[in-house]
């Protein structure tokens, strides 16, 4: 048990240090994130020393249940591919340009329109997708308009990581935790809709107070037109996204697992688009660009952290942690502990670990623990860049586009917004579940 605790602790601590001090390395001109390499080394050590039994890891990787990590990755990447496809053909940029025109010369109007668009897109795609697609646009747009990008970047990040709690597909952590508790799409939405809405209202008010002075500054918006490259491809993509969402909603009623719904939708999308390409003889560039933009580093990171958690569970450490968390109101104990744990070990390993902690609780309390942990896994991303994959990507993109936003800036804005938001969401969950 002690050896597992030491190896896991060193792995988690080194990942945290790497994100702060050396987030990436260059190998033959390619920039590679260090966090997943460190997690992979930790997993290999645990496997090699038999602290994470290979037969147990293999059993869980090949299991036929919904919480199988391979199925969760397929679900997440299938939805990601559909979203990136839509962005490749300019849907997100078109909406952003349209928003800037509607705002005219008012930063206040622009701020609220951007917040609304990011929130809506996050509901139907995921927080990671919105961060990947909108962060570069915001940096570029604010530079051209000669306005401070901080109000828009901070609001983008917190909106994406608040509205990602609305649906199961909003975050890989939602998928893992909800499926581990056999919570279906509709029941998840029924419980999470009110906490998400109330949390968003609170954070919008805080954002407005924080950036009121900056938003009073004048703005210079270009009147350039932006035309979607291929309306038929956008139409095909949107139809597939909507049909996919409908079948995800009813998946538990027709006895089809969500990962299969997403995979079929993704495969169908590409068949339709490829047929359209053969008929119209348009270029195939979108195919390569879509697959190049996927967050592949999530795969080794997720699987490595899964192996580490298998070792923790095998050694009985998770049981002792679960016993410790049995004291106090379940919703607040699990909500706050998961919130802070995200910023020690990242929200993906936290979710894999916390999925097993409340199993000793009565069923109703177990479900409350899972929902509050989901809230913690999303809002925990606000506090530091360590909290979530979205934070790591966001920090890298902001630095790439030469926007001054330090680690301490992240904590400063994040802490002001995160504590009230998670408190409101947990309180509403306590009242309505």
Over residues 34-60, the mean pLDDT reads 90
The mean pLDDT of 301-330, rounded to a whole number, is 86
Summarize pLDDT for 74-120 with one digit per residue, the tens: 988 998 899 888 888 888 888 877 777 776 778 898 899 999 999 99
For residue 82, what are the contacts with CB-CB under 8 A and spacing of at least 6?
125, 237, 240, 241, 244, 265, 266, 269
Q: Which two tokens stand for residue 330?
A: 């379940």
C-alpha pair distances (Å), 253 with each of 92, 187, 189: 32, 12, 15
Q: What is the mean pLDDT of the chain?
A: 88
Asked whether 377 and 165 are in contact (CB, 8 A), the reply is: no
Return the pLDDT at 221. Answer: 65
* DSSP 3-state of 3: helix
pLDDT at residue 79, rounded to an integer: 87
Supply the DSSP string of 92-152, one letter for each residue.
HHHHHHHHHHHHTT-HHHHHHHHHHHHHHHHHHS-HHHHHHHHHHHHHHHHHHHT--SHHH
Number of domains composing the chain: 1
Helices 317-324 and 298-314, interaxial angle, to 10°? 80
Structure tokens of 239? 């139809």
**Residue 229 per-residue DSSP state:** S
Owning domain of residue 245 = 2-432
Quick: pLDDT tens for 153-199.
999 999 999 999 999 989 989 999 999 999 999 999 999 999 999 99
Can you read off the two tokens belonging to residue 271? 């068949």
Mean pLDDT, residues 222-242 taken together? 80
pLDDT tens digits along 261-306? 999 999 999 899 888 888 887 777 777 788 888 888 889 988 998 8
Residue 222 has pLDDT above 80, yes or no: no
């Amino acid at each position: 048990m002690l050896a597992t605790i030491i190896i896991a602790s060193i792995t988690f601590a080194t990942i945290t240090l790497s994100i702060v001090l050396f987030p990436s390395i260059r190998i033959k001109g390619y920039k590679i994130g260090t966090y997943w390499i460190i997690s992979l080394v930790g997993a290999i050590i645990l496997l090699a020393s038999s602290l994470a039994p290979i037969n147990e890891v293999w059993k869980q990787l090949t299991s036929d249940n919904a919480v199988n990590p391979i199925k969760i990755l397929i679900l997440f990447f299938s939805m990601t591919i559909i979203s990136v496809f839509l962005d490749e053909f300019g849907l997100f940029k078109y909406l952003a340009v349209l928003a800037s025109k509607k705002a005219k010369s008012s930063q206040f109007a622009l701020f609220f329109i951007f917040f609304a668009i990011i929130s809506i897109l996050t509901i139907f795609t995921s927080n990671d997708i919105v961060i990947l697609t909108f962060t570069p646009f915001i940096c570029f747009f604010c530079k051209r308009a000669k306005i401070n990008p901080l109000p828009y970047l901070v609001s983008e990040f917190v909106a994406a990581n608040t509205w990602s709690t609305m649906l199961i597909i909003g975050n890989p952590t939602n998928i893992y935790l909800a499926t581990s508790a056999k919570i279906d799409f509709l029941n998840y939405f029924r419980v999470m809709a009110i906490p998400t809405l109330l949390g968003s209202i609170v954070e919008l008010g805080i954002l407005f107070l924080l950036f009121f002075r900056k938003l009073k500054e004048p703005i210079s918006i270009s009147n350039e037109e932006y035309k979607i490259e291929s309306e038929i491809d956008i139409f095909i993509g949107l139809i597939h996204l909507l049909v996919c969402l409908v079948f995800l909603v009813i998946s538990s009623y027709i006895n089809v697992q969500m990962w299969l719904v997403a995979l079929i939708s993704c495969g169908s999308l590409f068949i339709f688009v490829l047929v359209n390409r053969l008929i119209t003889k348009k270029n195939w560039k979108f195919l390569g660009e879509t697959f190049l933009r996927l967050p592949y580093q999530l795969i080794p990171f997720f699987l490595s952290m899964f192996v580490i958690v298998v070792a923790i569970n095998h050694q009985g450490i998770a049981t002792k942690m679960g016993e410790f968390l049995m004291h106090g109101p379940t919703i607040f104990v699990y909500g706050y502990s998961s919130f802070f744990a995200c910023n020690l070990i990242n929200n993906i390993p936290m979710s894999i670990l916390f999925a097993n902690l409340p199993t000793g609780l009565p069923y109703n309390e177990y479900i409350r623990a899972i929902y509050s942990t989901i809230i913690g896994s999303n809002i925990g991303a606000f506090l530091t860049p360590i909290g979530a994959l979205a934070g790591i990507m966001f920090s890298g993109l902001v630095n790439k586009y030469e926007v001054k936003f330090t680690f301490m800036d992240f904590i400063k804005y994040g802490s002001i917004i995160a504590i009230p938001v998670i408190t409101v969401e947990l309180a509403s969950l306590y009242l309505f579940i």
